């Protein structure tokens, strides 16, 4: 076979063996490998046939080391939205998109034909070994909505890191970024008409009136995005074909807003004894008419910043106790003939959905908001609580985004030994990949209502695990999600996906192997989860000397203090820890130890323990001296003498819970 070398220059290579798979993720619809490889010209000639593609030409200019590429909207109008045709031939590369997003998607496939270094930001002269396979790819997504949600309320994520994440998900043809901007633990978006939302609501811990539930208690912590910063992120995402969907979680999950503007709460004085004096209410009053004027201003300002037609209004996990205790809400129930206070949520949601519509937006909600069936069927519903909940809303006729906890909550652990939550089980990579609406019993009618899938990262654990936590939880699970959204189950194979993810593919003709997808992630600088964590070998050698345990608090029957003294598990008290509360371990005999780890709160979650306090040690059983301070609900002692007793004295009035958990000591 004889090829013209063309503009790709002197190194066009004439191999007759078919190109081995290039480890493309997500798997395209159709790939026809041609014969041979094309060496790149060592400079870029990038041409866009339509003015609106200029941002993509600029992007590609900074992204590839060489080659002649045409970007066009011609020649793909027969494909579904997001579809593209990519042709790599000796004379040039053509990326023809059905639409802007289609061209973006084609560019991302093109980049996967390059060596992994293309992602490390070095766009210098290509080496002689730098070749592209001759290929024609025709491709389009199975699902219109392929999303990632990031909670920036529980852990604030600076603008630059949000943009980096958007870049990394867009490289996987993810086209929606759902930005969870307000929750109990923080309000993260500047609202000019209600400045206290961020002046007060964006900060917690230390002297902030917003108390922490997770993480640091004695340090003031937080942040928010100005409206200009939001615009900047939205524009950055738009270049990458990513629609940014804002979420303001209403009417529950609103403690930060309620601390900034307490008048939004129901009109009664709550009993604060269980919470050490803190007002923990977090639900907007349904009956207070002024609330809707305030929400109109908030929604108007947020709506103006986001070109997305969708505005997520929350609607999950509403604590209806406040409504039941509120004279105004009770009067509203009587007036409307409602007997179940939970149905006040339908009234509230209908009001805010109408406000969003007035500002040009279709509403989105979490699945509980649709449980009563009373909200408009034009509302997109995120089915999160379970697969069953997602099926229910889809069967009920709502456009549905599936983010069911047991498949797509990436704050769940990836193995029993990993960090993360567990309420929806262990969410392994293979579990994510196994999602298939047909195989999992979505009816044909329900499947027709599916908009797509979304990975969800709630972010309690970000503070304690640092900025790498987001990468660790999301990757490579996002790679599996990307393929679930892109390729129908009939075209997917776990074994093949795992191979493309982890193994290089040999390329004939003496050229470098095609990289594994994990190599691409590494080149992108993503701190992905590479393997299951190994157990701490020291844990097997823990000492368990005889000890008694007492406290100023009492334990509930199911979780007695004998667990702590027996080293068999955690004890749980009947109330929050308060100032001056103490926990006391007294050893039968003084204990010689190189290290003693003290932990309060949940085992794998920085929550429900003693947030601020001192750790005292006694060597004789009667006099105590301060040896450490509680930090992140824990402390470590390295005693230089045998220890007779250890006492924690709380300096914290409240821990954000109605209980306190105490773990057994770990003594080495």
Residues engaged in binding ligand ACM (CB under 6 A):
316-317, 366, 384, 458
Pick one of Zn ion, ligand ACM, none as the site partner of residue 167 (Cβ within 5 to 8 A by kind): none
Query: Among residues 45 and 388, whose Cβ is nearest to ligand ACM?
Result: 388
DSSP 340-409: -GGGHHHHHHHHHHHHHHHTT-EEEEEGGGGTTS-S-TTSEEEE-S-HHHHHHHHHTT--EEE--HHHHB
CB under 5 to 8 A by kind: which of ligand ACM, Zn ion, none does 326 bind?
A: Zn ion
Query: From ligand ACM, Zn ion, none, which one binds at residue 328 (CB under 5 to 8 Å depending on kind)?
Result: Zn ion
- How many residues make contact with Zn ion (CB under 5 A)? 6
SS3 15: strand
Q: Is the peptide bond before 306 cis (omega within 30 degrees of 0)?
A: no
Residue whose CB is less far from ligand ACM, 167 or 316: 316
Nearest approach in angstroms of CB 265 to Zn ion is 8
We find the least distance from the C-beta atom of residue 149 to ligand ACM, in angstroms, to be 9
Nearest approach, Cβ of residue 247 and Zn ion (Å)? 23
144 or 316: CB nearest ligand ACM: 316
**Which residue's CB is nearer to ligand ACM, number 317 or number 498?**
317
Q: How far is the CB of 367 from ligand ACM (least distance, A)?
A: 8
Piece of the chain touching Zn ion by CB under 5 A; list 184-192, 281-289, 292-300, 513-521: 281-289
Nearer to Zn ion, 267 or 397 (CB): 267
Residues contacting residue 647 through CB under 8 Å, at least 6 positions apart = 582, 583, 584, 585, 615, 616, 617, 618, 624
Contact criterion met (CB below 8 Å) for 639 and 601: no
| Residue of 663, 537, 540, 520 whose CA lies nearest to 601 | 663
Which is it for strands 84-88 and 362-366: parallel, antiparallel or unpaired?
A: unpaired
- 287 versus 526: smaller Cβ distance to Zn ion: 287
Q: Of ligand ACM, Zn ion, none, which one sits near residue 285, judging by CB under 5 to 8 A according to partner kind? A: Zn ion
Shorter beta-carbon distance to ligand ACM: residue 384 or 654 = 384
CB of residue 288 to Zn ion, shortest distance in Å: 6
Burial class for 381, CB neighbours closer than 10 Å (0-12, 13-18, 19+): buried
CB of 474 to ligand ACM, least distance (A): 16
Binding partner of 266, given Zn ion, ligand ACM, none, CB within 5-8 angstroms per partner class: Zn ion
Q: Work out what residue 317 binds among ligand ACM, Zn ion, none; the CB cut-off runs from 5 to 8 Å by kind.
A: ligand ACM
Q: Which of 107, 118, 285, 390 binds Zn ion (CB under 5 A)?
A: 285
Picked from ligand ACM, Zn ion, none, the partner binding residue 84 (CB below 5 to 8 A depending on kind) is none
Which partner, Zn ion, ligand ACM, none, binds residue 113 by CB below 5 to 8 Å per kind? none
Report if residue 326 touches Zn ion, rule: CB under 5 A.
Answer: yes
List the single partner that 402 binds among ligand ACM, Zn ion, none, CB under 5 to 8 Å by kind. none
Cβ atoms 172, 26 nearer than 8 A: yes
Instruction: Tell me which of ligand ACM, Zn ion, none is bound by residue 91, counting a contact when its beta carbon lies within the kind-specific cut-off of 5 to 8 angstroms.
Output: none
221 binds, among Zn ion, ligand ACM, none (CB under 5 to 8 A by kind): none
CB 228 within 8 A of CB 158: no
Q: In this complex, which beta carbon is closest to ligand ACM, that of residue 131 or of residue 379? A: 379
Please state, as a whole number, how many other Cβ atoms lie within 10 Å of the Cβ of residue 352: 26
* Element of type H or E holding 477: helix 477-486
3-state percent helix, strand, coil for the chain, nearest multiple of 5? 30, 25, 45
With 0-12 / 13-18 / 19 or more C-beta atoms within 10 angstroms meaning exposed / middle / buried, residue 49 is middle
Q: Spell out the residues 6+ positions from residue 427 whose beta carbon is closer than 8 angstroms to its own.
A: 406, 407, 408, 409, 410, 412, 413, 414, 477
CB of 413 to ligand ACM, least distance (A): 16
Residue 260 near residue 201, CB atoms below 8 Å? yes
Give the Cα separation of 404 and 401 in Å (integer): 9
Q: How far is the CB of 389 from ligand ACM (least distance, A)?
A: 11
Q: Which is nearer to ligand ACM, 215 or 315 (CB)?
A: 315
CB-based contact 450:500 (threshold 8 Å): no
CB of 412 to ligand ACM, least distance (A): 11
Among 19, 31, 157, 266, binds Zn ion (CB under 5 A): 266
- Judged by beta carbon, residue 179 or residue 366, the one nearer ligand ACM is 366
- Per partner kind, with CB cut-offs from 5 to 8 A, the member of ligand ACM, Zn ion, none near residue 366 is ligand ACM
Q: Is 343 an interacting residue with respect to Zn ion (CB under 5 A)?
A: no
Cβ nearer to ligand ACM, comparing 8 with 366: 366
Contact status: 328 vs Zn ion (CB under 5 A): yes
Residue 583 and residue 665 in contact, taking contact as beta carbons nearer than 8 Å: no
Q: How far, in Å, CA of 285 to CA of 88, rounded?
A: 60
CB of 409 vs ligand ACM, minimal distance in Å: 7
HEC per residue, 530-570: CCCCCCCHHHHHCECCCEEEEECCCECCCCCCHHHHCCCCC
Q: How far is the CB of 308 from ligand ACM (least distance, A)?
A: 19
Structure tokens at 394: 């889809």
Say whether residue 264 binds Zn ion (CB under 5 A): no
Nearer to Zn ion, 267 or 545 (CB): 267
**DSSP letter, residue 631:** B
How far is it, in rounded angstroms, from Cα 390 to Cα 383? 4
Residue in the shown chain whose Cβ atom is closest to ligand ACM: 316
Strand partners, 561: none
Binding mask 222-261 for Zn ion (x = CB under 5 A): ----------------------------------------
Tokens of 339: 């007997």
- Least separation in angstroms between residue 186's CB and Zn ion is 24
Please, are residues 546 and 589 in contact by the beta-carbon 8 Å criterion?
A: yes
Applying CB under 5 A, does 174 fall inside the site for Zn ion? no
Least spacing, CB of residue 408 vs Zn ion, in Å:
34
Cβ neighbours of residue 268 closer than 8 Å, sequence gap 6 or more: 322, 325, 326, 327
CB of residue 340 vs Zn ion: minimum separation in angstroms? 15
Asked if residue 473 lies in contact with residue 480, where contact means CB atoms within 8 angstroms, the answer is no
**Of residues 225 and 366, the one with the C-beta less far from ligand ACM:** 366
| 316: partner contacted, choices ligand ACM, Zn ion, none (Cβ within 5-8 A by kind) | ligand ACM
Query: Any alpha helices (H) in 129-262, and if so which ranges?
Result: 159-170, 196-199, 227-239, 255-260
Instruction: Give the integer Cα–Cα distance in Å for 311 and 178.
Output: 10
Q: Which is nearer to ligand ACM, 201 or 383 (CB)?
A: 383
The DSSP annotation for 83-122 comes to: -EEEEE-SS-EEEEESSHHHHHHHHHHHHHTS-GGGGGT-
The nearer residue to ligand ACM, 232 or 317, going by C-beta atoms, is 317
Residue numbers at the binding site for Zn ion (CB under 5 A): 266, 285, 287, 326, 328-329
């Amino acid at each position: 076979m004889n090829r013209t070398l063309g503009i790709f220059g002197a190194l066009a290579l004439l191999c007759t063996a078919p190109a081995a798979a290039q480890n493309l993720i997500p798997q395209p619809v159709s790939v026809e490998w041609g014969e041979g490889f094309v060496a790149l010209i060592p400079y870029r000639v990038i041409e866009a046939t339509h003015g609106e593609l200029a941002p993509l030409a600029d992007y590609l200019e900074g992204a590839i080391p060489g080659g002649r590429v045409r970007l066009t909207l011609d020649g793909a109008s027969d494909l579904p939205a997001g579809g593209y045709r990519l042709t790599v031939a000796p004379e040039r590369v053509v990326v023809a998109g059905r639409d802007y997003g289609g061209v973006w998607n084609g560019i991302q496939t093109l980049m996967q034909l390059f060596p992994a270094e293309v992602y490390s930001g070095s766009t210098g002269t290509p080496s002689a070994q730098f070749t592209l396979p001759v290929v024609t790819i025709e491709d389009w997504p199975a699902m219109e909505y392929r999303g990632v949600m990031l909670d920036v309320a529980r852990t604030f994520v600076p603008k630059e890191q949000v943009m980096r994440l958007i870049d990394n998900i867009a490289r996987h043809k993810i086209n929606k970024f759902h930005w969870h901007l307000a929750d109990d633990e923080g309000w993260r978006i500047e609202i000019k008409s209600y400045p206290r939302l961020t002046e007060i609501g964006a900060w917690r811990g230390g002297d902030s009136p917003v108390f922490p539930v997770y993480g640091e208690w004695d340090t003031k912590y937080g942040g928010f995005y100005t409206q200009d910063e939001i615009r900047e992120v939205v524009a950055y995402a738009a270049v990458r074909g990513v629609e940014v969907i804002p979420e303001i979680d209403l009417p529950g999950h609103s403690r930060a807003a309620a601390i900034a503007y307490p008048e939004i709460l129901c009109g009664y004085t709550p009993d604060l004894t269980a919470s050490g004096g803190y007002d923990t209410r977090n639900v907007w009053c349904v009956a207070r008419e002024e609330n809707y004027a305030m929400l109109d201003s908030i929604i108007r300002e947020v709506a103006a910043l986001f070109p997305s037609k969708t505005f997520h209004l929350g609607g999950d996990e509403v604590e209806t106790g406040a409504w039941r205790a509120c004279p105004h809400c009770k009067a509203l129930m009587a007036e409307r003939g409602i007997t179940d206070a939970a149905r006040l949520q339908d009234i509230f949601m209908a009001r805010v959905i109408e406000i969003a519509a007035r500002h040009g937006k279709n509403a989105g909600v979490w699945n509980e908001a649709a449980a009563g069936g009373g909200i408009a069927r034009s509302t997109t519903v995120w089915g999160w609580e379970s697969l069953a909940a997602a099926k229910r809303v889809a069967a009920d006729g709502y456009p549905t985004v599936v983010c069911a906890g047991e498949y797509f909550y990436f704050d769940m652990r990836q193995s029993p030994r990993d960090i993360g939550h567990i309420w929806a089980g262990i969410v392994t990579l293979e579990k994510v990949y196994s999602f298939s609406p047909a195989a999992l019993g979505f009816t044909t009618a329900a499947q027709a209502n599916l908009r797509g899938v979304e990975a969800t990262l709630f972010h309690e654990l970000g503070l304690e695990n640092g900025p790498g936590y987001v990468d660790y939880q999301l990757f490579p699970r996002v790679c599996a999600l990307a393929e679930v959204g892109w390729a129908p189950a009939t075209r997917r194979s776990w074994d093949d996906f795992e191979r493309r993810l982890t193994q290089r593919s040999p390329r004939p003709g003496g050229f470098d192997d095609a990289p594994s997808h994990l190599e691409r992630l590494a080149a992108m600088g993503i701190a992905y989860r590479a393997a299951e964590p190994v157990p701490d070998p020291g844990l097997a050698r823990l000492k368990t000397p005889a000890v008694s345990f007492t406290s100023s608090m009492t334990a509930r029957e199911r979780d007695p203090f004998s667990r702590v003294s027996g080293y068999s598990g955690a004890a749980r008290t009947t109330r929050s820890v308060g100032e001056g509360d103490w926990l006391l371990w007294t050893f039968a005999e003084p204990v010689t130890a190189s290290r003693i780890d003290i932990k309060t709160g949940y085992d794998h979650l920085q929550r429900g323990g003693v947030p601020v306090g001192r750790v005292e040690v006694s060597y004789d059983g009667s006099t105590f001296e301060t040896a450490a301070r509680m930090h992140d609900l824990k402390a470590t002692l390295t005693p230089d003498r045998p220890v007779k007793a250890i006492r924690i004295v709380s300096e914290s009035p409240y821990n954000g819970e109605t209980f306190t958990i105490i773990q057994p000591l770990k003594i080495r």
